[in-house]
Chains A and B, each alone.
Chain A
Amino acid sequence: MKDNGQLREHVLYLLNGDGAHLEFDAVIKDIAPKLRGVRPKGGEHSPWEVLEHLRIAQRDVLESIDSPNHVSPDFPSGYWPGSVSPPNEKAWEQSAAAFRADLKALTEIAASPSRDLLAPLPSGEGQTILRKLFMLADHNSYHLGQMLLLRQLLQ
Chain B
Amino acid sequence: MTTIMERVENLGFLQTLAAPGRSPEIPADADLYGWLVGSWELEVLHYGVDVSAQHIRGEAHFAWVLEGRAVQDTWIMPRRADRREHSDRMTNMYGTTLRVWDPSIQAWRVTWINPVTGLRDELIGRRAGRDIVQVGRHPDGTPIRWIFSEIAADSFRWTGEALDADGKTWKLEGEFRAKRVKVQEEQR
Contacts and interface: CB of A to CB of B under 8 A. Distances in A.
Contacts of B168: 1, 116, 119-120
> Interface size bucket, A side?
20 to 34
A59 B142 CA distance: 22
Q: Which of A68, A94, A97, A112 has the most CB of B within 10 A?
A: A68
A67 B106 contact: no
B11 to A, nearest CB: 37
Nearest to B170: A68
Given A68-B170, A115-B143, A119-B168, A101 B107 contact: yes
B124 A105 contact: yes
A112 B143 contact: yes
B106 A66 contact: no
Contact of B130 (A69, A98, A115, A119): A69
A22 B149 CA distance: 37
A104 B102 CA distance: 15
A59 B107 CA distance: 12
A71 B145 contact: no
A114 B163 contact: yes
B20 interface: no
A98 B167 contact: no
Contact of B129 (A63, A94, A100, A120): A63
Contacts of A104: 105
A73 B119 CA distance: 36
B147 interface: yes
A51 to B, nearest CB: 13
Contacts of A105: 124, 135
Nearest to B150: A69
A139 interface: no
A10 interface: no
Contact of B106 (A1, A71, A98, A120): A98
A131 interface: no
Interface string B128-139: 111101010000
Q: Which of B142, B167, B170 has the most CB of A within 10 A?
A: B167
Nearest to A128: B168
A93 to B, nearest CB: 9
Contact of A66 (B107, B129, B135, B166): B135
Given A70-B128, A119-B168, 6 more contacts: A69-B131, A69-B149, A101-B107, A105-B135, A115-B143, A119-B166
21 contacts: A63-B126, A63-B128, A66-B145, A67-B131, A67-B147, A69-B130, A69-B147, A69-B149, A98-B107, A101-B104, A101-B105, A101-B107, A105-B124, A112-B143, A114-B141, A114-B142, A114-B143, A114-B165, A116-B168, A119-B167, A120-B168
What are the 4 tightest A-B residue pairs by CB atom distance, in nearest-first order? A116-B167, A119-B168, A101-B105, A98-B106
Interface of A: 1, 59, 63, 66-71, 94, 97-98, 100-101, 104-105, 112, 114-116, 119-120
Interface of B: 27, 103-107, 124, 126, 128-131, 133, 135, 141-143, 145, 147, 149, 163, 165-168, 170
